Each structure stands twice: as C-alpha cells, then as structure tokens.
Chain A
Amino acid sequence: MAIDFQLNGKPASFAGDPETPLLWVLRDHLGLTGTKYGCGVAQCGACTVHLDGKNRRSCVTPVGTIAGKSVTTIEGVTGKTAEAVRAAWVGLDVPQCGFCQSGQGMSAIGLLTAKPKPTDDDIDHAMAGNICRCATYVRIRQAIKDAAGVKGVRA
C-alpha cells in the first residue's frame, strides 16, 4: 500500500518498502537531492528536514512512520524565518564546501521557529547535532543571530 504524505505543500506518495528511510525516498525516488546523506546514523545532521514543522533527521525516519504528515525540505522551506536565515547566510557567506549547509539551514530555521530570540546557549544546544567538516561554526552562529536580530554575548 502506498504511503501518502505532504511534501513541500503538495501531495506525495511512495509505494515501496515502508522501512525505507525518508532520506532515500526524497533523494532517490522523488529527486529532491538538496537534503544530504552524511552518516546515516543520526550523528551529523546533514539530512535534516522539517516534519510537521519541526527538525527531524530523515536518515532514521522510516517513510512508513510519516503517513499523513507534512515534510518540508530545503527546496520548499518558505516564510519569514526561512527568508531571514537565507539572507543572513548569504550576507556572511557562511558555506565553505557546502555539503552540510542544507542541514545547518534547516536546523537553524527549526530553531528560530521554536525559539525566535535564542540565546548563545540555545543556539549551541540546537546546533550540537549538525557537524561541519569545514568548521564554519562561528559563521553559522553569527548568521543565526543576524537572522534573529539578537546580539548574544559570545562570538
């Protein structure tokens, strides 16, 4: 039986094995390759999407568990918070190689949706599960503060 869900605001469906990770479905079956595969074991954050508006690691999410739910990927994320994050990312030229950045951006938008004015600690705690091999962490943190319009204490 096919699994139906919302993807970036439109109906989507997957007719294969319900144990297939959502990440596989997004990239290999539905052609949305903006969401990245990094580790496959919920350690790196590259595969972060929003599930019903909240951050979710798609590599450990069997597609069978999301029937009727709403998935947003980097390709489809919209709204004021997403725009502010995008502008801040461009403004600071955050990415280096860029591989982890779709996950970083989605996590940042998820954080600011849940907590619009985060403290330094809020940012560190929220982003602790997103690894960046180029160590763009300092720019990521600053970009989140810029997007939120907060100053924070630490760099």
Chain B
Amino acid sequence: MSRAGMKLQLQHLGLAALAIAAVALPAAVIARQSAAPVGLQPVSAFAGIADPAARSAAIFTEMGKVLTHPRCLNCHPRTDRPRQGDAMALHNPPVVRGNAKGEGAPGLQCSTCHGPRNVAFANGTGSIPGHPLWHLAPIEMAWQGKSLREICEQLKDRRRNGGKTLAQIHEHNANDTLVGWGWNPGPGRTPAPGTQAQFGALTKAWIDTGAKCPT
C-alpha cells in the first residue's frame, strides 16, 4: 500500500491524526519491493578454478551474496539500531539493542512486537518478521558497511563469531532457523538469494578448500 493509501485508510476510520503522527512508515510498508529473485551458483560452478585458495575465495564471494543481503545485514548492524526493508532504513519505531543479549530495552523489547513467526499485517500489505529468538546480533558480529574481506576475517575469528569453530559456522549457516528466516521473510520482503541448503553447501566447500578470504 502506498503511504497515501495508508493515510486514506486511516482517515476512513476517523484516525487521520494518528496517520499524520506515524510520519515515517517503514520502507516495506510504503513501497512493495519488486527485485527479481536472485539465485546462488552451486559449488560445482567453481570446480574449474584449479588453485584451491582462489577457489575458496571465489566460493566465499558467492556466499557474500547472502551475507550482504538486507535480510542478514538489517540484523547485524554496527550501531545499536536494527534496520528495515530492502532499502535498509533505520528501524521504525526507534528501538535499541538494550540488554547485552540485544533483546531490546526494558518495556520495548523485540518481543513486544516480533512474535514466534512472521505475521501478515491485518489491515494491508506487508508483515512483521517473527522467530522465537528474534533479537539483534551482538556488536562484535556487525557486518553493515564492511567489505566482504572484513566480514570473512571476522567470521573466522572466534573472538568475534561467538566462539564458533569453522564446523560450527557451517552448522549455523546450514541449519540455524534464525538464519533460515532469511529465505522465509514474510510478505513484502525479498528473500535471500538461493536456498539455505545451497548456502550451507557453499559454506562447507569454502571451509574444505581452506576458508580463504577474497582480497
């Protein structure tokens, strides 16, 4: 629904005042995104690169299509605020990281609005994302504004990846259901490229070839 459409609907209900007050509606509410679905190349597509280090880096670059996708970046910010929509606008309402776990401030936690699953808005287009563990990635796992090489180095650094071994990183990418949300983001949001299974397979191939980072 357009912003004007939203206003009209609210006016219709005699609530013009609130429509005007809710000035900055999130991007996904204002504009339906129309980006064409993007795929991921399979691991076999990299078999032609003879040098394992170069192959590894190329595979990570392919993984980067997911890692730098708005579905992932919006929740891995460098500040204390998540972002929203394909345009990665600052989250509205202005919520903050809050406690050490990134669950939001007392009284306005992520779970004040986000539920255990995605919920389509009852009065128009769009949806609010959901997952039982919906919360912000810790600050040391910030990816926004970083190069792919920086994200790669940080993914391998156990001080900045939640103490994970490479095997655990693979497990996380392949099976974690919060990561999996990226491919099932609810109405009004573009899913991450490919499938989680493909992303998991690429992660494994990257590790098996020496987990090299792109330059």
Whether A associates with B in a native complex is: yes
The smallest C-beta distance from A79 to any residue of chain B, in angstroms, reads 16
Known A40-B122, A42-B128; contact A55-B107, beta-carbon cutoff 8 A: yes
Q: Give the residue name and chain of the A residue nearest to B23 (CB).
A: A131
Q: How far is the CA of A128 from the CA of B128 in the complex (A)?
A: 18
Main secondary structure on B side of the interface with A: loop
Instruction: Name the segment of A3-11, A70-78, A82-90, A108-116 touching the other chain.
Output: A108-116
Q: How far is the CA of A118 from the CA of B93 in the complex (A)?
A: 20
- How many residues of A sit at the interface, in one of the four size bands? 35 or more
The smallest C-beta distance from B134 to any residue of chain A, in angstroms, reads 12
Instruction: Name the segment of B10-18, B34-42, B66-74, B205-213 touching the other chain.
Output: B10-18
Is B25 an interface residue when CB atoms closer than 8 A count as contact?
Answer: yes
Q: Give the residue name and chain of the A residue nearest to B28 (CB).
A: A41
Q: Please tell me which one of the listed residues B20, B92, B108 contacts residue A55 in the complex, with CB atoms under 8 A apart.
A: B108
B17 A133 Cβ-Cβ under 8 A: yes
Known A40-B121, A60-B128, A125-B98; contact A132-B108, beta-carbon cutoff 8 A: no
Contact residues in A for B25 (Cβ distance below 8 Å):
41, 43
Known A40-B122, A60-B128; contact A125-B96, beta-carbon cutoff 8 A: yes
Is B162 an interface residue when CB atoms closer than 8 A count as contact?
Answer: no
Q: How far is the CA of A44 from the CA of B18 in the complex (A)?
A: 8
Q: Please tell me which one of the listed residues B106, B109, B115 contacts residue A65 in the complex, with CB atoms under 8 A apart.
A: B115
What sequence of 0s and 1s flags, for each residue 147-159 of chain B, a beta carbon within 8 Å of any chain A beta carbon? 0000000000000
Q: How far is the CA of A132 from the CA of B93 in the complex (A)?
A: 13
Contact residues in A for B15 (Cβ distance below 8 Å):
37-38, 99
The smallest C-beta distance from A68 to any residue of chain B, in angstroms, reads 13
Taking Cβ atoms with an 8 Å cutoff, the residues of B that contact A are: 10, 13, 15, 17-22, 25-26, 29, 92-96, 98, 105-109, 111-113, 115-117, 119, 121-124, 126, 128
Taking Cβ atoms with an 8 Å cutoff, the residues of A that contact B are: 21, 24, 37-46, 48, 54-57, 59-62, 65, 97, 99-100, 107-108, 110-111, 114-115, 118, 122, 125-129, 131-133
